[in-house]
Chains A and B, each alone.
Chain A
Amino acid sequence: MTLENITLIIGSLLILLGLWGLITQKNLIKIVISFTLVDAGIHILMISLGYLKNRTAPIVDSTIDNAVEQIVDPIPQAMVLTAIVIGLGITALMLSFVIRLAKDKNSLNVSNFKDLKW
């Protein structure tokens, strides 16, 4: 059981838990919280795919002579940096929709919003 195997399992389990919460919960705010859990799981999955054994962080200072042999992959980290900030933007947008929806029907239960059903 190496380090990246453990974090891969944790990331996948967090994604599955978040999807389960997304499907079964009825409270609108719990649905938004499940989106946050799916986001965290995806980020852990992406960074653990870029890990190489026994190497250190991709910052070149005086202790690193040969950067190609001694650092982990910097590209997934750059992608995840962008993804975290955009995840926050999505959460804020979803919460503003929840505020307007709750004002309209005076309830937070998702089974009361049946206007678009046939």
Chain B
Amino acid sequence: MIKKLIFLALIAGVGYMFWTGLAEYKAAESLNRISSYYAQDGLKEVGAANLVTAVVVTYRGLDTLGEVSILFLTASILGFFLVSGKEPKIPLQDSSEILKTASKLLEPIILLFGIYVFINGHLTPGGGFQGGAILASALILAYLANPNEGINKSIFRITESISGVVFVIIGILGIVLAGGFLDNRLIPVGSIGDLISAGIIPIIYIFVGMKVGAELSSIVTNLKHSPKNNVE
């Protein structure tokens, strides 16, 4: 009982810190200097209609590189930790007829939708991370419908590695041929609103989308194939 009161006092202390920080918060009236620069000149420089994409890929491209490497580290640690030894293959129960038929219809549509989302990342809301998550959902549907088939894990590893290497090579080409690392003007910036516009943003997002999709799929595959142990 005393412990619960101490914990409650701790949480109340954190809550008091939030209160003093946020009590008289008023929303700002206009954008601050960096955001108004991005909104005004960034549109002509980068040429992408989706400003969040422009910030993520061009102005903060180094953060995206860091995030992609953290995801790679996570996927490889999971693959190392959950070592799948030689476990006896217990045949799982087959799923129902409706699920099997419906999944055969739906999987190509979901894959196509995922690819559409990350190709059009610079025009409409979307981008590499959303498209990669949708691609991983298509794979999970396949696993749920056919629980006894495995997918070759090496496809995910090859896709992931090649996409990562191409991303870094495009960045280094930016140093050699244009302004700096991951610069946008490697390919001419077209007019705002076309599919082929905004320099190398669609190309980078295609590789980021494939890489994120392959990584999330390999995380799910490793969790599925790890050996089973019995705990109550």
Contacts and interface: CB of A to CB of B under 8 A. Distances in A.
A adjacent to B, CB under 8 Å: yes
Interface of A: 2, 4-5, 8, 12, 15-16, 19-20, 23-24, 49, 51-53, 57-61, 67-69, 71, 73-75, 77-78, 81-82, 84-86, 88-90, 92-93, 95-97, 99-100, 102-103, 106-108
B67 interface: yes
Interface in B47-67: 49-52, 55-56, 60, 63-64, 67
Contacts of B22: 8, 12
Given A19-B11, A51-B27, A71-B39, A108 B231 contact: yes
B74 A99 contact: no
A59 B11 contact: no
A92 B31 contact: no
B1 interface: no
A60 B125 CA distance: 11
State the majority secondary structure of interface residues on B: helix
Contacts of B63: 82
Interface string B33-48: 0111011100100000
A99 B82 contact: yes
B4, B11, B32, B193: which has the most chain A beta carbons within 10 Å? B11
B35 A75 contact: yes
Interface string B158-193: 000000000000000000000000000000000011
19 contacts: A2-B27, A4-B27, A16-B18, A20-B11, A23-B7, A58-B39, A67-B40, A73-B32, A74-B51, A75-B34, A75-B35, A75-B55, A78-B52, A85-B212, A86-B67, A89-B74, A92-B78, A93-B74, A108-B231
Contacts of A81: 52, 56, 127, 129
A103 B83 CA distance: 13
Contacts of A68: 30-31, 36, 39-40
B192 A74 contact: no
Nearest to A95: B223
Contacts of B98: none
> Which A-B residue pairs are the 9 nearest by beta carbons?
A89-B74, A58-B51, A78-B55, A103-B229, A67-B39, A74-B51, A12-B18, A78-B56, A68-B39
